[in-house]
Amino acid sequence: AAALTARRAGASVLLLDRADFPRDKACGDGIAAHSVDVLAELGVTEAVAGYAPLPALRMISPGGGAVARALPRPAYTVPREVFDARLVAAAVAAGAQLRRHTVRQVEPRADRVVLDGQVSGRVVIGADGAGSVVRRALGHPQNPDRHLALAIRGYAPALPGPSEQLIVTSKARWPAYAWSFPIGDGRANVGYGEVLRGEPLSRAYLLDRLAALLPGTDLATVTALRAHHLPLSTHRPSPGRGRTLLAGDALSLINPFTGEGIFYALLSGALAGSAAARSPEGAAGRYADGLRRRLGTHLRHSSVAAWLARRRRVVDAAVRAARRDDRVFYDVVELGLGDGRLTARTLALIGAGLGGGDGAPRQ
C-alpha cells in the first residue's frame, strides 16, 4: 500500500522483502469492507476477486450467549499467499522495483536512510511486521505483555452451516477467542489467540484451546499451522522519526478489541507512502499528522473498548445488546473491523444489560 501510494505521487520506490512471492503469512485472512475501500482508493480492484463474500458474522460470548446478524457490508477470506502476491503485483505494475533482501541494519542519516550499508532511500518505511527491524533501529522494544497477543492459525475443512464468520470467545482464558472464517473453496481459516499475561504459551496449549472452542474442527485435518504475535494498538511507539517511518504491525496497529490488522496496515501504509513522497525531509511529522486525523479518535475508542472488554460481563452484555438491537451490532462491527467509534447509545444499552436478561430482537 505504501509503494502504490508513493508511486502514484511520482516517487521512485524500491520494495524489499526477505521472501519470494507468493508466500504464506500467518493471519486470519479476513478482509473487511473497510480494507476493500482502501484498496479501491489505491486502484487495486481485484484483490478479493474469485472469493465468495461472507454476508454474516456469528459471535459467541464468554458466557455462551450468541448473536448472528448480517454484516453491514460483506467481508472476505483471502489467504495471504494470494492476497499479498496480488498487492505486490499491483505495486510492481505501478512501477515499484521489487528485490529480495533481508534487512538487518538501518542507519538513519540527515539526507537519507541506509540499509545494510548498500541500499539507501530518501525515506524508509518499515512495514516489516511484529518483529520489525526498523522499529528496533528507532529504539522501540517489542510490546510488553497485556499489549501483545499470540495466535495460531491453520486451514481446515469448513464447518457445516451458513457461510459466515464465526468467533467463539473463551470464558476460561479471556481475553481470548477462536475463529473459523470460510474461504469458499471448502476450507476455512481457523485459529485461536489470546493476550499474553506473563506465562509462555505452548503450541500444544494453543491447539487444545482451538479444539475446545471449535469442537467441530478435527485437529487431524488442520494444515499449515503457524503461530504469530499480534502487537496491540494500546501500546504504540511513535510512528516515525525524521526519514524513517513505521506502518502496520511494526507500528503496533492491531485492533485490541478483535485482533484485526489488515485495514490498519493498508491505511497506514497508504498514509506513510503519501507522506514519504510529498515531503521526504518532513515525512515523520506529516505522517503522524495524517494518522492522527484519520485514526486518532478511533484508536482512542478502540482502546477504551478493549479496556472495558477485559471484563467478561461486559462482553456478555454487548452480545446480548447486539442481539436485541441491530445498531449496537453495527457499532461493534465498525469498531472492531474498521474505524468506528463507541456511541453513547451503544454504551448505554450495554450498560443496561450488565444485569443479564434477554429480549426479542429490535430493528
Q: What's the pLDDT at 361?
A: 43
pLDDT cut 90: percent of the chain above it: 95
**pLDDT, tens digit, 9 for 90 and up, residues 280-308:** 999 999 999 999 999 999 999 999 999 99
Please compute, for residue 182, the number of CA atoms within 13 A of its CA located in the half-sphere on the CB side.
20
Buried b (16+ CB within 10 A) or exposed e, 253-281: bbbbbbbbbbbbbbbbbbbbbbbbbbebe
Q: Where are the beta strands (DSSP E) in 211-307?
A: 223-231, 240-241, 244-246
> Which residues of the chain, if any, have pLDDT below 50?
357-363
Task: Tell me which DSSP letter residue 49 carries.
Answer: T
State the SS3 of 26-41. CCCCEECHHHHHHHHH
Counting every residue written for the chain, the total comes to: 363
Residue ranges of domains in the chain, CATH in brackets: 1-294 (3.50.50.60), 296-355 (no CATH)
Residues 78-88: tens digit of each pLDDT: 999 999 999 99
DSSP 279-325: -GGGHHHHHHHHHHHHHHHHHHHHHHHHHHHTSHHHHHHHHHHHHHB
CA-to-CA distance for 215 and 192, rounded, in angstroms? Answer: 13
Q: Are strands 54-60 and 164-169 parallel, antiparallel or unpaired?
A: parallel
Q: Under a CB-based contact definition with an 8 Å cutoff, are residues 265 and 271 in contact?
A: no
Question: What is the predicted pLDDT for the residue at 164?
Answer: 96
Residues 38, 263: contact at Cβ < 8 Å?
yes
Looking at residue 356, its pLDDT comes to: 54
What order do you get walking across the sheet with 113-115 strand by strand?
A: 106-108, 113-115, 119-121
**Does the predicted TM-score (pTM) go above 0.75?**
yes
Which has the closest alpha carbon to 127: 265, 289, 291, 299?
Answer: 265
Evaluated on CA atoms 154, 158, 163, 166, the torsion sign reads: negative
pLDDT at residue 359, rounded to an integer = 44
Is there a contact between 226 and 24 (Cβ–Cβ < 8 Å)? yes
Please name which of 151, 175, 162, 209 lies closest in space to residue 54, comparing C-alpha atoms. Answer: 162
pLDDT tens digits, 173-221 = 899 999 999 999 999 999 999 999 999 999 999 999 999 999 999 999 9
127: number of Cβ within 10 Å:
25
- Which has the closest alpha carbon to 156: 180, 187, 183? 187
